[in-house]
């Protein structure tokens, strides 16, 4: 007999070689019908994998992220089979599950796959799925694997890097694929599929390798779920920040300036300035000091920090000056500069903590194929800050930063989030710099702070920064998509590399601890996510224009200007639409520009010294005094803009 421990802590006994499905059936037949994947002792297994030892078992359904991963991984196999049957001579490479669906990279030879092929692929996939073919894992020798893929140089390359005894295949129907495992019980669970797009992709992500065709798809256990997902995709298209950014005149790009280098238009620059001022005000209350650092630094600075070794390949090439052997780099990170600011004076423990903040622009040479609007750019501004503190101050300082991040989220409408504690990978320690002792201290400090602040958090091993563990905030937007926003990191390593010190109460020199933090992260990426989350309907306190004044005719321009001046005196951002257009057209265009309030000015309004107010979306507030309108604006702002 073997003991199987379930997530609730209960222990059940089973005969040796019982399967996860046997365990599921022992809980209930109804539950077992929904189980599609499992994890045993931290390893993903099939629902039919024999369990031979005591261990912990987690059973997954479609409602779990792990269940969806198995579902979409299995669907990728079905996609591969469909492609193999439809396109003679196509060479399959790899096909993983991704956050929403799956893809398969294929060398189609002379055939060019386009949108016109999608329906045929979908039909073939559903035909295969209806066969209810079981997914079966089997081991193979290296020689057998190489023989199977004779003529497919991509699979051959993968196999050459594997060792005998570690190679497995997955079979279903008449199809076989090189695979490590993690499948649903059979193809029949797949009820609905959609091929979403095709794109070019270099083999193994290296632009020096052959270009393949990446076929993206998604699948569901019910047709209605696919329908709902496609509706969500249509809504996402409407909310695309690139589309909204153009419509709202926030930013643009220029080929002459260069890919991945956004140009902020006046309205976008004003939006950024309001976000910066919002955070600067909170930071001032929290005891931060603003600093400014240059856009470049000597190469040696980033060699010292470790950023050159880490980001050198992803950075712009060194800038060579007329002086021999003198090299500068465009700044990839702000932290080394802030370390040198700290190093510009000798500090006592009584002076700490020092909190340096900067909206600093940094540069990374992202591959052109990875650039995407504002979310992936080559030049971006971080709301960066670095805190230097004593060991006794670390816990409270870290918690204070958590409070600041939560304040930012609350004021901008991000209410659905979890915290992710990112630790280093114990099996790959060469990825990181610094001593084991300091890493253990830093990881413990973050976990304790997350617990004490009552955060809903998960632990992710292997996701730490190269110099220290971190606490990331994973936010769900209005469409249910997850984004990483806001990060806090504990760092014992850079203070050592830069020989940072302070004089303690014992009159000896000690090493400060460094906290990295950025509530927004990248200003560019944050604004892109905020645009899509709000569909351009920003919180009222942030809107570029809070009200637009629309006069029915030129006769009322003078009164319109009077209203504008009164609103501006109350610090309400407004503008007058002076164009000689119909009031209907002005209202339609104001709606498209997402102005929160439209103020209609005509004969009656001028006569009674009032205004008629219409909200974005069509709600009519009627004729009210200007004073009452100012009160409405202030009341709405106070609902979202919290005090810190």
Detail the residues annotated as belonging to a binding site for Zn(2+).
335, 386, 516
Residue in 480, 601, 598 with CA at minimum distance from that of residue 543: 598
Q: 345: buried, middle or exposed (CB in 10 Å: 19+, 13-18, 0-12)? A: exposed
Q: 181: buried, middle or exposed (CB in 10 Å: 19+, 13-18, 0-12)? A: middle
Q: How far apart are CA 132 and CA 134, in angstroms?
A: 6
The helix (run of H) or strand (run of E) holding residue 147 is helix 142-148
Who contacts 219 (Cβ-Cβ below 8 Å, separation ≥6)?
71, 72, 75, 78, 101, 102, 125, 190, 192, 193, 194, 226
Who contacts 220 (Cβ-Cβ below 8 Å, separation ≥6)?
190, 191, 192, 193, 226, 229
Q: 113: buried, middle or exposed (CB in 10 Å: 19+, 13-18, 0-12)? A: buried
Please report the DSSP string for 215-270 in residue order: EEEEEESSHHHHHHHHHHHHHHHHH-HHHHHHHTT-EE--TTT-TT--EE-HHHHH
Annotated binding residues: 335, 386, 516
Q: 297: buried, middle or exposed (CB in 10 Å: 19+, 13-18, 0-12)? A: buried
Active site residues: 335, 364, 382, 384, 386, 470, 516
520 DSSP assignment: S
In this structure, the number of other CB atoms found within 10 A of the CB of residue 612 comes to 18
Who contacts 552 (Cβ-Cβ below 8 Å, separation ≥6)?
583, 600, 601, 602, 603
The helix (run of H) or strand (run of E) holding residue 118 is helix 118-129
Q: How far apart are CA 408 and CA 421, in angstroms?
A: 19
Q: 329: buried, middle or exposed (CB in 10 Å: 19+, 13-18, 0-12)? A: buried
């Amino acid at each position: 007999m073997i003991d199987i421990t379930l997530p609730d802590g209960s222990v059940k006994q089973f005969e040796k070689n019982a399967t996860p499905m046997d365990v599921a059936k022992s809980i209930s037949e109804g539950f077992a019908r929904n189980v599609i994947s499992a994890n045993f002792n931290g390893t993903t297994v099939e629902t039919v994998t024999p369990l031979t030892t005591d261990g912990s078992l987690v059973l997954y359904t479609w409602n779990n992220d792990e269940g969806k991963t198995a579902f979409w991984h299995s669907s990728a196999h079905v996609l591969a089979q469909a492609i193999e049957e439809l396109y003679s001579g196509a060479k399959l490479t790899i096909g993983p599950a991704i956050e929403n669906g799956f893809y398969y990279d294929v060398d189609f030879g002379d055939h060019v796959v386009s949108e016109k092929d999608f329906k045929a692929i979908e039909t073939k996939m559903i035909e295969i799925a209806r066969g209810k073919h079981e997914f079966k894992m089997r081991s193979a020798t290296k020689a057998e694997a190489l023989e199977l893929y004779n003529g497919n140089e991509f699979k051959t390359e993968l196999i050459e890097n594997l060792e005998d005894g570690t190679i497995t295949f997955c079979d279903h129907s008449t199809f076989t694929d090189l695979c490590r495992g993690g499948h649903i019980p059979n193809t029949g669970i797949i009820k609905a599929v959609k091929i979403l797009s095709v794109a070019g992709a270099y083999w193994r992500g290296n632009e020096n390798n052959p270009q393949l065709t990446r076929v993206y798809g998604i699948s569901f256990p019910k047709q209605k779920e696919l329908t709902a997902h496609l509706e969500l995709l249509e809504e996402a298209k409407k909310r695309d920040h690139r589309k909204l950014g153009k419509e709202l005149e926030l930013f643009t790009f220029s080929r002459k300036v260069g890919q991945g280098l956004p140009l902020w238009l006046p309205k976008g620059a004003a939006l950024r300035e309001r976000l910066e001022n919002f955070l600067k005000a909170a930071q001032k209350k929290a005891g931060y000091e603003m600093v400014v650092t240059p856009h470049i630094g000597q190469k040696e600075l980033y060699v010292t920090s470790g950023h050159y070794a880490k980001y050198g390949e992803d950075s712009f090439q060194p800038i060579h000056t007329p002086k021999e052997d003198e090299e500068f780099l465009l700044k990839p990170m702000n932290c080394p500069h802030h370390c040198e600011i700290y190093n510009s004076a000798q500090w006592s423990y009584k002076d700490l903590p020092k909190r340096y903040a900067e909206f600093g622009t940094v540069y990374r040479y992202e591959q052109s194929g990875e650039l995407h609007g504002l979310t992936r750019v080559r030049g971006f501004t971080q709301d960066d800050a670095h805190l230097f503190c004593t060991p006794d101050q670390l816990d409270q300082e870290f918690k204070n930063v958590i409070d600041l991040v939560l304040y930012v989220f609350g004021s901008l409408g991000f209410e659905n989030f979890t915290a992710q504690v990112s630790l280093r990978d114990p099996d790959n320690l060469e990825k990181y710099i610094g001593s084991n002792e300091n890493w253990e201290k830093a990881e413990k400090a973050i976990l304790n702070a997350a617990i004490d602040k009552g955060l809903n958090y998960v632990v992710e091993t292997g996701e730490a920064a190269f110099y220290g563990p971190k606490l990331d905030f994973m936010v769900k937007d209005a469409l249910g998509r997850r984004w990483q926003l806001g990060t806090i990191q504990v760092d014992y390593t850079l203070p050592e590399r830069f020989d940072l010190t302070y004089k303690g109460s014992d009159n000896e020199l000690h090493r400060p601890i460094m906290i990295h933090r950025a509530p927004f992260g990248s200003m560019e990426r944050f604004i892109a996510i905020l645009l899509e989350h709000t569909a351009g309907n920003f919180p009222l306190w942030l809107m570029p224009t809070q009200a637009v004044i629309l006069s029915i005719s030129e006769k009322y321009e003078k009164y319109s200007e009077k209203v504008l001046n009164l609103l501006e005196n109350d610090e309400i951002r407004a503008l007058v639409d002076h164009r000689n257009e119909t009031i209907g057209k002005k209202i339609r265009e104001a709606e498209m520009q997402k102005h929160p309030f439209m103020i209609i000015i005509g004969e009656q309004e001028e006569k009674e010294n009032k205004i008629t107010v219409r909200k974005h979306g069509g709600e009519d507030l009627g004729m009210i005094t200007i004073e009452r309108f100012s009160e409405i604006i202030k009341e709405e702002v106070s609902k979202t803009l919290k005090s810190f």
